[in-house]
């Protein structure tokens, strides 16, 4: 049902990209290269990291370079799109739960 290619693509987009974004951001802040903006918390950075899994353009480009078999390429493209959708949904739900509701501007 799932090939190792599919599982690798899914793990890379849904787990690897968020983990890389969070770790790189943490190292940058810890070393003093940058600071988190006012009001932003690390729990919210995790949601932003998941949204990084949406980036599928480079994944499709690498798929076209890595594989010659049309079936493998098609399966990989489907997995990339599904993985990007899953990462987007996780990021959206995560941020929805961790961000404050903005104050209403009604008078």
Confidence of residue 5 (pLDDT cuts 50, 70, 90): confident
Higher pLDDT, 1 or 52: 52
Q: Are 76 and 9 in contact (CB under 8 A)?
A: yes
Spatial CA neighbour of 6 closest among 65, 76, 102: 76
The pTM (predicted TM-score) of the whole model is 0.83
State the average pLDDT for the chain. 90
Tell me the average pLDDT across 49-77.
91
76 pLDDT above the threshold of 80: yes
Q: What is the pLDDT of residue 107?
A: 59
| pLDDT in the model for residue 7 | 92
Q: What is the CA radius of gyration of the chain?
A: 17
Break the chain into its structural domains and give their ranges.
4-97
**37 near 62, Cβ under 8 Å?**
no
């Amino acid at each position: 049902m799932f090939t190792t290619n599919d599982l690798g693509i899914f793990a890379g987009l849904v787990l690897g990209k968020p983990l890389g974004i969070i770790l790189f951001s943490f190292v940058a802040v810890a070393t003093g290269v940058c600071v988190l903006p006012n009001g932003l918390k690390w729990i919210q950075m995790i949601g932003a990291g998941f949204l990084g899994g949406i980036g599928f353009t480079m994944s499709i480009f690498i798929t076209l370079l890595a594989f010659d078999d049309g079936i493998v390429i098609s399966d990989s493209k489907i997995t990339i799109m599904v993985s990007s959708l899953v990462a987007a949904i996780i990021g959206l739900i995560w941020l929805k739960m961790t961000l404050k509701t903005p104050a209403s501007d009604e008078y």
